[in-house]
Amino acid sequence: MKDIELVRLAELLGMRNLIDERIGRLIDRPMTSGHAGEWIAARIFDIDLNENAAAKAIDGQFRSEALANKSVNIKWYLKRDGILDLSEPATPDYYLVLTGPKMTARDERTVRPWRIDSVYLFESQQLLSELRARGAKIGVASGVREAQWHQAEIYPTATNSTLVVTGEQRRLLTLFGG
């Protein structure tokens, strides 16, 4: 029985490797949720990505609208679990966060769907100030409260009006929906 499961896993990983290779060639970066999320966000939200994919803290700059020339760090979390990786002392002007579904206890360990259910825009200095005021840890896996996620949401609900999602952007985001 164990051999059958190992064979099946090897087959599935082989298929995944082929898909990851194709995606990597398309986005011209290794296939990870981070790189794919940056590529998707750049096209949907008109962001000029840094040439160096390993640049610290800042992935690129917005090119148009009210956020033109503002720096951004893009995240794609396959599940929204209330955690956000923040960087200091170098900080972008904004964090643009694409997320899959909100995490539930039932599926938190095994399900990480490659989809975009929601998009959030956090103004970094405001977020950092709020986290400091409540004594929260700032860095990898910073805990962001539910109210802060709600205030930052730009898709599917437009709670944050800093970046208004157009009809075309909404259509493109739905391509990655569940």
Residue type, 45: F
Any idea where the domains of the chain sit in the sequence? Answer: 1-30, 32-174
Name residues whose C-beta falls within 8 Å of residue 87's C-beta, 6 or more positions apart in sequence: 56, 57, 73, 139
Q: What is the per-residue pLDDT for 55? A: 74
Task: Give the separation between CA 47 and CA 38, rounded to whole angstroms.
Answer: 9
Whether residue 167 is predicted with pLDDT greater than 80 in this model: the reply is yes
Please tell me which residue, 134 or 89, carries the higher pLDDT value.
Answer: 134
Closest of 54, 29, 51, 55 to residue 40, by C-alpha: 29
Mean pLDDT, residues 64-73 taken together:
93
Q: What is the per-residue pLDDT for 178? A: 63
Task: Give the separation between CA 101 and CA 111, rounded to whole angstroms.
Answer: 10
Q: Mind listing the pLDDT tens digit for each residue in 106-133?
A: 666 667 889 999 999 999 999 999 999 9
Q: Mind listing the pLDDT tens digit for each residue in 20-52?
A: 999 999 999 999 999 999 999 999 999 999 987
- E-strand ranges in the chain read 47-49, 60-62, 71-77, 83-84, 94-99, 118-123, 142-143, 153-155
Strand partners, 155: 119
